[in-house]
């Protein structure tokens, strides 16, 4: 069996790590194609290095652009690569423009397509990710769902026959990295001189939160007005939008910091008293590390984090401040995202469905 993975953006490198390791362990031929959607070393190269992923076999170097331009360049670049390698499976991850481009390129060439993290839904059609995941699920031959909730969404859309619940590969990575870093102080603590739990960590990058200057400023003001300092990890989109709107990112109570490498992020989350974010991945990482999360969005795909009391959805302003300062939630040993062996389940499902 020959599997070709297509990745391009930061969260996909995290999901690729346990999958690549499992293919290696089982001596399955695996080709890695990087679209180049994320090209800053701190959003790309450090993830390959820190998580022990082999360098990509092909790098398309597509870079930034509007949705049409970026996705179109990927389609043009991927087709000859797929034709050259003729994989038994094209494996795509999550919900980015790289995911939908690879899905389209694969089905047009009649190559079997598997979608990892299938069935997630925000039901918010303003999000580019929602279109990307719906289109990819309906194109794919094998839907690798991380949770029962995701499988239920696929059932509603008539896709049960193609669905396998495999667990969440992010759990595999987070738990491994947590065990590597748990006894060391996080570099964020060392750098700012924070003691355990004396800071919050924030990330904000979604277009709905960054593109409107009033909303972005309100979010940053809320983060600056909490009881302990907030460190905001500045994604390039956030930096660019602050510059464009003439908004100062750092301010009293809010410390701007470059994006972190993955082990640093896990350590910084583990030792923070709370997370404030609009990232999908970080909501789940916070839950897995049992750090309370506050999400600046009207909805989430990861509903289990909210149902179990470890995540609250808020608007900027008083609601954000109150939620971020809420007491520690009740402990839980629930495992809605699997037991850390999802990658093995993925490889098994690919092998079973391989014709
Ligand atoms: C993308 C994904 C999003 C995911 C996020 C993780 C889509 C539609 N969105 O959003 O789902 O949560 O990645 O980070 O695929 N930029 C840089 N350097 C880089 C990458 C981007 O400066 O290495 C800048 C670009 O110039 C652009 C902005 O950041 O202005 C947005 O980048 P883009 O890849 O389009 O989307 P993200 O917001 O990163």
Tell me if 64 CB under 6 Å of ligand 1: yes
Q: What's the 331 CA to ligand 1 centre distance in angstroms? A: 34
Write out the H or E segment, with its range, that includes residue 85. Answer: helix 67-85
Q: Can you tell me which atom of ligand 1 is nearest the CA of 43?
A: 23
Report whether 42 contacts 203 (CB < 8 A).
Answer: no
Q: What pLDDT is recorded for position 185?
A: 83
> Whose Cα sits closest to atom 34 in ligand 1?
37
Q: What pLDDT is recorded for position 78?
A: 98
Tell me if 39 CB under 6 Å of ligand 1: yes
- With b meaning 16 or more CB within 10 Å and e meaning fewer, what string describes 301-311? bbbbbbeeebb
Q: What's the 293 CA to ligand 1 centre distance in angstroms? A: 22
Write out the H or E segment, with its range, that includes residue 5. Answer: strand 2-7
pLDDT by residue for the chain (355 residues), tens only, comes to 999 999 999 999 999 999 999 999 999 999 999 999 999 999 999 999 999 999 999 999 999 999 999 999 999 999 999 999 999 999 999 999 999 999 999 999 999 999 999 999 999 999 999 999 999 999 999 999 999 999 999 999 999 999 999 999 999 999 999 999 998 888 999 999 999 999 999 999 999 999 999 999 999 999 999 999 999 999 999 999 999 999 999 999 999 999 999 999 999 999 999 999 999 999 999 999 999 999 999 999 999 999 999 999 999 999 999 999 999 999 999 999 999 999 999 999 999 999 7
Q: Can you tell me which atom of ligand 1 is nearest the CA of 97?
A: 15
134: which 2 tokens? 């719906």
Tell me if 300 CB under 6 Å of ligand 1: no
Q: What's the 64 CA to ligand 1 centre distance in angstroms? A: 7
Q: What pLDDT is recorded for position 355?
A: 74
Q: What's the 37 CA to ligand 1 centre distance in angstroms? A: 7
Tell me if 243 CB under 6 Å of ligand 1: no
Q: What's the 355 CA to ligand 1 centre distance in angstroms? A: 36
In order of 32, 103, 144, the CA distances from 141 in angstroms are 20, 10, 10
Tell me if 10 CB under 6 Å of ligand 1: yes
Report whether 62 contacts 8 (CB < 8 A).
Answer: yes
Q: What pLDDT is recorded for position 87?
A: 98
Q: What pLDDT is recorded for position 351?
A: 97
Tell me if 248 CB under 6 Å of ligand 1: no
Q: Can you tell me which atom of ligand 1 is nearest the CA of 40?
A: 23
Catalogue the active-site residues: 205
């Amino acid at each position: 069996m020959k599997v070709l993975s297509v990745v391009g953006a930061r969260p996909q490198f995290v999901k690729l790590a346990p999958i690549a390791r499992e293919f290696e362990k089982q001596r399955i031929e695996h080709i890695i194609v990087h679209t180049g959607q994320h090209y800053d070393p701190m959003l790309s190269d450090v993830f390959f290095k820190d998580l022990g992923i082999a360098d990509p076999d092909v790098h398309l170097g597509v870079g930034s652009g509007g949705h049409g331009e970026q996705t179109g360049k990927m389609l043009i670049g991927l087709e000859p690569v797929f034709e050259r390698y003729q994989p038994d499976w094209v494996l795509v991850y999550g919900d980015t423009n790289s995911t939908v481009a690879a899905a389209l390129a694969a089905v047009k060439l009649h190559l079997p397509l598997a979608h990892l993290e299938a069935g997630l839904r925000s039901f918010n059609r303003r999000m580019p990710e929602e279109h990307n995941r719906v289109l990819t699920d309906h194109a794919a031959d094998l839907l690798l769902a991380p949770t029962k909730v995701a499988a239920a969404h696929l059932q509603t859309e008539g896709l049960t026959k193609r669905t396998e619940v495999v667990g969440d590969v992010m759990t595999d990575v987070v738990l491994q990295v947590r065990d590597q870093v748990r006894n060391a102080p996080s570099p964020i603590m060392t750098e700012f001189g924070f003691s355990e739990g004396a800071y919050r960590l924030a990330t904000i990058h979604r277009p709905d939160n960054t593109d409107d200057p009033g909303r972005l400023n309100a979010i940053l003001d809320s983060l600056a007005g909490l009881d302990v300092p907030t460190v905001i990890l500045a994604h390039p989109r956030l930096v660019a939008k602050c510059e464009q709107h003439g908004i100062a990112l750092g301010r009293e109570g809010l410390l701007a910091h470059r994006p972190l490498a993955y082990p640093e992020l896990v350590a910084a989350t583990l030792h923070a008293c709370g997370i404030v974010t609009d990232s999908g991945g970080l909501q789940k990482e916070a839950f897995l590390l049992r750090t309370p999360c506050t999400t600046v969005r009207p909805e989430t795909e990861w509903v289990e984090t909210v149902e179990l009391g470890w995540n609250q959805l808020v608007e900027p302003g008083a609601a954000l401040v109150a939620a971020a300062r809420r007491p520690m939630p009740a402990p839980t040993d629930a495992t809605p995202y699997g037991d850390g062996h999802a990658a093995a389940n993925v490889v098994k499902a690919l092998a079973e469905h391989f014709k």
